[in-house]
Structure 1
Amino acid sequence: MNYKWLLIGCSLALASCHQTSTNTDTAQSLTSGLRLQNMDISIKPGDDFNAYVNGAWIEKTEIPADKSSYGSFTLLHDQAQADVKAIIEEAASGNAVQGSDEQKVGALYASYVDQAGRDKLGLKPIQDALARIDALPNNQALARYFAKVNKIGVDVPLQLGQYTDFKDPNIYMMYTWQGGLGLPDREYYFNEDETSVEVRAAYLDHLKSILSIIGVSDARASAEKVFALEKQLAGEHMKKEKTRDMVALYNRMTLSQLSEAMPNFDWNGYLEEAGIAGIEYLVVPQVDYSKALDKIITDVPLSTWKDYLKWRYVAAHRNYLTSEIYKETFDFYGKTLWGVEQPQTQWRRGVDIVNQHLGEVVGKVYVKKHFPPQAKARMEVLVANLIKAYELSIKDLDWMGEDTRAQALDKLSKFTPKIGYPDKWRDYSNVEMASDTLVANIHSAKLADYQRQIERRNDKVDKSEWAMTPQTVNAYYNPPLNEIVFPAAILQPPFFDLNADDAVNYGGIGAVIGHEIGHGFDDAGSTFDGDGVLRDWWTKTDRAEFKNRTAMLIEQYNGFYLFDDLHVNGEFTLGENIGDLGGLSITLKAYLLSLKGQSAPVMDGFTGIQRVFLGYGQVWANKSREEYLRNLVASDPHSPPQYRVNGIVRNVPEFYQAFNVTESQKLYLSPEQRVKIW
């Protein structure tokens, strides 16, 4: 189930900032942490700061054939994959006891990389499932079927999953969510620009090929009907910009209310198959979509539904079946949508499968090998300094009233940082793995996870749980738990360098920390209080001023054109842009606090403040294919990397002072045009 709208990621009792700085007495032995070889100093920082910091790297770097985008995150991800591969091979090298963690890791990986064995099996692993679709007796049976395959990750029109209750973050709640599309977002079905028309034509060919492979008769006609059904669903989907409105999404409905909204939908069968018969209520974020779905289920012929459901089932298993299906999938989703020239090597794909389904098993070993204790200790000081800097900033805000300010400070004081790895590791004892049954292995992992959710439904929320593995190069903020989470794999250069002076670390991981804290105060996160409760803690005047300021940021980002026919979606990317702006602004303040009134050393010809900016810019070194950028704008709430640099620094007053930016330079904004929120 897709809950990207809840965990807002970056790319990205603690110590006081007045305690010992992260600088040491041997600061002279530290490097600056700057990647000078990547810079193009012929460019004025005030014209294009991203090119100034990363221009030489951009000029000399070629995007690898198996990548749609390439940069700092990709490099760290590739290294993390190689590190995990070594862990997997070590686990598989011995005579592991059946049922042990080592056996499971080795078996899952072996079942994936054995492509010859999977080709020999052909469609056998899914034949029974396809036969069950053929046996569906009527449209009413679709409800129970949706619930059944939702357990194993099949993307159907009505998804169901568990998350923390927005109104009571100590309990779990079951949420529905709109789904069932084969293209990345609803707009792909309706935009009439040349690229969108070409993508739809290629997608229809892809549907026809997959349906033909699995034996659907008259595959072209069937593909057209499946596409028409998806277009109907897409037309009713809530627009992505609206999915950021957490208040509007929280619609708690009893069974009688559900039945009234969807009178033709077999809710009793759905809930029984889902394992939650007798549940008092569900949260239904997209009520209008759900009502429309009720009629679509009834009106669309059963034969079309069967072809559609076969397609969705194969789509959920396309990486686990034959070479033919994988190639067909890659040709559309890899080449056409993302512009990738060739697939990743099979070992990398196999590592991803292990990370997805046994992530914390290998994560335990990854942490021992690659995350030194001193890194966690230094991160704790950085986090404390960023929180202190946010506190001072909130106290100094000239646009916020005292009532809202008190609530904001209360929320800030209750942030929970998680650094490196979980304190309690996930139990995989219910997962069974064999080296020759990949589809069965995937189902075992997914069903075990689903059952874990059902069994704990009436328990208190487990606040020790992580939504990312330690080997994930990312970070996130979780609104109902008011937590900021930094996996071990992102705590490496250029984000975090134990051997570097503080300035670049504040620009790198400090801005990431500030970004994630900022999510607690963005357009979505700010609707939750310090205890993670969805409630309005703002005065009307302050909320109106907040919206005025964020509207300026939306307008700025709407003006960033990647191509003549494509600009950044300022409304959809607002939360991430608020996070970036707050992250850089507050990490500058935190860096100055860490100096405790002393002057920062000049290193490699740059002052401390300049190095903070340079450290921020260099983490966004990136090159992207056109297809990637088009897909990013259409479906990802993060702005393209170059605007995460240039779009932010131009709003920060210290940037103008540090690099002598004048009115004649391209990034210049007059003081009244600059956005300051936190």
Structure 2
Amino acid sequence: MTDRLIPALLLSTTVLAGLTACGDNSQDNTAKTSDTAPKTEAVVAQMPIGINVAAMTATVKPGDDFYAYANGEWMKTTEIPADRSSTGAFLVAFQETEKHKTSLIAELVKAEHATGSDAARIANFYKAYTDTAAIDAAGMKPAEADLARYETIASKQDLSAVLGQNLRADVDPLNATDFYTENLFGIFVTQGLATPGEVLPYFLQGGLGLPEREYYLSADPKMVEIRTAYRAYIEALLKDAGISDAATRADRIFALEHKIASAHASRADSEDFTKAAAVWSRADFDAKAPGIDWTAFLGAAQLSEQPKFAAYHGAAMTGLSALVASEPLDAWKDWLVFHHINSHADVLPSTIDNTAFAFNGTKLSGTPEQRSRDKRALAALDEYLGDAVGQAYAEQYFPASAKAEVSTMVDNIVLAFGKRVAALDWMDPATKKEALAKVNTMAVGVGYPEKWRNYDAYTVSPTNAYANAINGEKVEYAHQLAKIGKPMDKGEWWMTPQVVNAVNLPVQNALNFPAGILQPPFFDAKADAAYNYGAIGAVIGHEISHSFDNNGAAFDSTGAMRNWWTPADFAQFAKQGEALAKQFDAYAPFPDLHVNGKLTLGENIADVAGLAAAYDAYHASLQGKEAPVIGGFTGDQRFFIGFAQTWATKMRDEALRARVATDGHAPGMYRALTVRNLDAWYTAFDVQPGDKLYLAPEDRVKIW
């Protein structure tokens, strides 16, 4: 399992590719007053309030528990769907998107299409994926040739070549599950940290079936329990696949993975750019990571002519390569067989698929039921034909009026953020100039890319789901390799339009806001500005702010990793970050488990700064007029409640523990408490000393 490097290179809104030439907002950051003028009182009276009053518990004092005040009734009455590990605002938007996709795909499946068209690919993929009778009847036969490759490995050179053949590009690093676990390494293709303007393949540590190294190394009883269950799962999956001597093989696989985990960089080191900017030449692989036959590996990976690489996990590469030399071939062969089956369980017989879900879905995340096959087919389509589905989705479900309105909000929040930077009294003029250059050259994509991915190289069978998965992986790998050595495309999208998420791309100094998140409960074109600025506005501000969090601030306006801070400026920035980390360290969803303020710091900084910028932009949109009172709530109250309700979150205990232990995003119920750091929240809800959430003015974190 490829380690979660990319939340550093792709800074996401939540823990939930195409090509584009996005509009560059640097030419006009002026608020469009014709689109943002306050509505008349008559119009306001007819507008939805935006916030969900029925979700609130008005008897709770906002200053004591603002999350319960905004979401208390929702928490009491909402049930987590049986096929989910959590629920919340993101799931609401996802389910609406899923309904649209269901209708869209149903029409495509029924219609006739020209051979080789994207519509035909979508229909064929869906038919094959949902035909479980055919998948079960085929048994393991579709995978026989791939598994046979592993059995014929007779030397370390053979092993190195197979590992190279299996190399795949990590193209969806924000997904809940990582890409391809059947290799020691993954690659990610974008501008190198130390090579501005030059696109390189990043080498990433991989090879684990559990989410990350701490699952193997931690003495925590919950982790020990999961490890025991994982060892049993390995054996069960091998038995389901008809692999002989499953118990002995499972022991070898588990022991090898423990050694792989020990060689991995820690999460803290993995997210430290200063430790990740190394560029390796071809000769460096032999000198710094002996053990693998790199000529065989890189040749099989179609990278033999590549002169240099971004060694993001250089130290781990050294340790992992040494394991290739030291560990028995039989252990590696068993490991390859297991991970190939594990990675493709959804397109193998139902017994395998169900066993995989029992561990990966239920044991790891607490989800009682597998999602229905038709809904899983939609998710698989997003993975393998995401742009093709996204183009059809955007054309049908994302009107130009919504794109225009959100684009205006983006412009206004970028402008507000720039004003906040310009007004900083602690920042040196030289540092401030660099920061403003970064703000003014941000490329922002709203809704969907300007150019769409070409899938002509992808052959999709209407009867062989396994072959479609394998072919899709290879086509995606070739697509990513084709970018190497070319100028960086600043407008490249790393999300499809139907995704309910948003992303900051620091190496591109760019933002993507897919159509999927530009709908209720994040954005409602019929609601008043207070709600929309508190909801989607805070998301927009969050993504802008990621360019200036503890990770994004390491990049300049060109996307190059460069220190553009004076020591005094960075010390002030770090001081505020430390205070915010301590705030989040105090949140404890379980008596034995606290939120990790350092791990979640980047997201928390973006929340604070983004909410503040969205608040400023909201007030600017009023053009000096007083916000109307709607439903008994002032504009500021609706703004802050709207923000808190977008973080309504209910999680199963297993999923919540996994989130806190491994994820850079704090659980939503704590992100909602970001409001504690804004002075305006105290005024809006009359929060006073003695209230549980009260922070003295000097303790409120103000970043940007």
Q: Distance in 1 between matches of 2:318 and 2:480?
A: 27
User: Please, which of 4, 8, 22 is the counterpart of residue 5 of structure 1?
Assistant: 8
Farther off after superposition, 174-183 or 23-32: 23-32
Q: Distance in 2 between matches of 1:15 and 1:160?
A: 36
Q: SS in structure 2 opposite 1:293? A: helix
Q: Distance in 1 between matches of 2:658 and 2:572?
A: 33
Question: Does the 8 Å contact 1:81/1:352 carry over to 2?
Answer: no
- Which residue does 1:228 correspond to in 2? 255
- Which residue does 2:22 correspond to in 1? none
Q: SS in structure 1 opposite 2:661? A: helix
Q: Distance in 1 between matches of 2:377 and 2:470?
A: 16
- Which residue does 2:63 correspond to in 1? 46
Label 1:169 to 1:32 Cα distance change in 2 as closer, same or farther (>3 A). Answer: farther
User: Please, which of 100, 112, 118 is the counterpart of residue 95 of structure 1?
Assistant: 112
Q: Distance in 1 between matches of 2:408 and 2:196?
A: 28
| AA in 2 matched with 1:270 | F
| AA in 1 matched with 2:354 | K
- Which residue does 1:304 correspond to in 2? 331
- Which residue does 2:321 correspond to in 1? 294
Is 2:582 the partner of 1:555? yes
Question: Does the 8 Å contact 1:147/1:160 carry over to 2?
Answer: no
- Which residue does 2:240 correspond to in 1? 213
Q: Distance in 2 between matches of 1:510 and 1:425?
A: 27
Q: Distance in 2 between matches of 1:635 and 1:7?
A: 17
Q: SS in structure 1 opposite 2:280? A: strand
Label 1:135 to 1:613 Cα distance change in 2 as closer, same or farther (>3 A). Answer: same
Q: Distance in 2 between matches of 1:241 and 1:667?
A: 29
Farther off after superposition, 16-25 or 409-418: 16-25
Farther off after superposition, 279-288 or 9-18: 9-18
Matches within 5 A, 1:178-197: 178-197=205-224
Matches within 5 A, 1:250-261: 250-261=277-288
Residue 462 of structure 1: CA displacement?
Answer: 2.8
Matches within 5 A, 1:130-145: 130-145=147-162
Is 2:410 the partner of 1:383? yes
- Which residue does 2:393 correspond to in 1? 366
Q: SS in structure 1 opposite 2:201? A: strand
Residue 189 of structure 1: CA displacement?
Answer: 0.9
Is 2:408 the partner of 1:405? no
Question: Does the 8 Å contact 1:15/1:380 carry over to 2?
Answer: no
Question: Does the 8 Å contact 2:573/2:703 carry over to 1?
Answer: yes
Matches within 5 A, 1:549-588: 549-588=576-615
Residue 168 of structure 1: CA displacement?
Answer: 4.2
- Which residue does 2:268 correspond to in 1? 241
Farther off after superposition, 135-144 or 344-353: 135-144
Instruction: Provide structure 2 residue ranges, at least 5 long, that are not aligned to the other structure.
Output: 16-26, 170-178
Q: Distance in 2 between matches of 1:424 and 1:170?
A: 21
Residue 22 of structure 1: CA displacement?
Answer: 5.2
Question: Does the 8 Å contact 1:38/1:56 carry over to 2?
Answer: yes
- Which residue does 2:24 correspond to in 1? none
Matches within 5 A, 1:153-168: 154-155=180-181, 156-168=183-195
Is 2:658 the partner of 1:655? no
Q: Deviations over 1:576-630 (max 9, x none)?
A: 1111111111111111111121111111111111111011011111211101101
- Which residue does 2:143 correspond to in 1? 126
Farther off after superposition, 232-241 or 176-185: 232-241
Q: Deviations over 1:421-469 (max 9, x none)?
A: 0000100111111111111111222211211222332322233321111
- Which residue does 2:635 correspond to in 1? 608
Q: Distance in 2 between matches of 1:222 and 1:485?
A: 44
| AA in 1 matched with 2:73 | A
- Which residue does 1:638 correspond to in 2? 665
Q: SS in structure 1 opposite 2:535? A: helix
Q: SS in structure 2 opposite 1:159? A: strand
- Which residue does 1:17 correspond to in 2? 31
Matches within 5 A, 1:170-569: 170-569=197-596
| AA in 1 matched with 2:675 | V
Question: Does the 8 Å contact 1:46/1:668 carry over to 2?
Answer: yes
Residue 290 of structure 1: CA displacement?
Answer: 1.2
Question: Does the 8 Å contact 2:628/2:634 carry over to 1?
Answer: yes
Q: Distance in 2 between matches of 1:385 and 1:375?
A: 15
Q: SS in structure 2 opposite 1:566? A: coil
Question: Does the 8 Å contact 2:290/2:322 carry over to 1?
Answer: no
Residue 34 of structure 1: CA displacement?
Answer: 1.5
Q: Deviations over 1:520-563 (max 9, x none)?
A: 00111111101111111111111111111111111111111110
Q: SS in structure 1 opposite 2:444? A: strand
Q: SS in structure 1 opposite 2:344? A: helix
Question: Does the 8 Å contact 1:233/1:293 carry over to 2?
Answer: yes
Q: Distance in 1 between matches of 2:526 and 2:539?
A: 19
Question: Does the 8 Å contact 2:205/2:316 carry over to 1?
Answer: yes
Residue 188 of structure 1: CA displacement?
Answer: 0.8
Question: Does the 8 Å contact 2:166/2:301 carry over to 1?
Answer: no
Q: Distance in 2 between matches of 1:458 and 1:244?
A: 25
Question: Does the 8 Å contact 2:168/2:477 carry over to 1?
Answer: yes
Question: Does the 8 Å contact 2:194/2:279 carry over to 1?
Answer: no
Instruction: Determine what percentage of the aligned residue pairs are the same residue.
Output: 37
Q: Distance in 1 between matches of 2:264 and 2:629?
A: 54
Residue 635 of structure 1: CA displacement?
Answer: 2.3
- Which residue does 2:75 correspond to in 1? 58
Residue 519 of structure 1: CA displacement?
Answer: 0.4
Q: SS in structure 2 opposite 1:572? A: coil
Q: SS in structure 2 opposite 1:561? A: coil
Q: Distance in 1 between matches of 2:62 and 2:332?
A: 56
Residue 19 of structure 1: CA displacement?
Answer: 2.6
TM-score of the aligned structures, taking structure 1 as reference length: 0.97
Q: Deviations over 1:646-677 (max 9, x none)?
A: 2x111111111111111211111112221111
Q: Distance in 2 between matches of 1:514 and 1:4?
A: 17
Runs of 4+ in 1 over 4 A off after TM superposition: none
Residue 208 of structure 1: CA displacement?
Answer: 0.8
Farther off after superposition, 423-432 or 241-250: 241-250
- Which residue does 1:82 correspond to in 2? 99
| AA in 1 matched with 2:603 | E
Farther off after superposition, 160-169 or 378-387: 160-169
| AA in 2 matched with 1:552 | A
Question: Does the 8 Å contact 1:482/1:530 carry over to 2?
Answer: yes
Farther off after superposition, 44-53 or 86-95: 86-95
Label 1:423 to 1:237 Cα distance change in 2 as closer, same or farther (>3 A). Answer: same
| AA in 1 matched with 2:100 | D
Question: Does the 8 Å contact 2:446/2:515 carry over to 1?
Answer: yes
Residue 5 of structure 1: CA displacement?
Answer: 3.0
Residue 169 of structure 1: CA displacement?
Answer: 4.6
Question: Does the 8 Å contact 2:677/2:695 carry over to 1?
Answer: yes
Farther off after superposition, 186-195 or 333-342: 186-195
Is 2:700 the partner of 1:674? yes
Q: Distance in 2 between matches of 1:166 and 1:371?
A: 35
Question: Does the 8 Å contact 1:143/1:266 carry over to 2?
Answer: yes
Q: Deviations over 1:136-170 (max 9, x none)?
A: 11123222211211238632112233222234453
Farther off after superposition, 426-435 or 444-453: 444-453
Question: Does the 8 Å contact 1:251/1:284 carry over to 2?
Answer: yes
Q: Deviations over 1:304-336 (max 9, x none)?
A: 111111111111111111100111111111111
Q: Deviations over 1:342-397 (max 9, x none)?
A: 11111110100111111111211111211111111111211111111111111222
Q: Distance in 2 between matches of 1:169 and 1:475?
A: 24
Q: Distance in 1 between matches of 2:395 and 2:88?
A: 26
Aligned length: 677
User: Please, which of 648, 664, 670 is the counterpart of residue 690 of structure 2?
Assistant: 664
Residue 634 of structure 1: CA displacement?
Answer: 2.1
Q: Distance in 1 between matches of 2:604 and 2:625?
A: 32
| AA in 1 matched with 2:55 | N
Q: Distance in 2 between matches of 1:383 and 1:537?
A: 25
- RMSD (CA atoms): 1.5
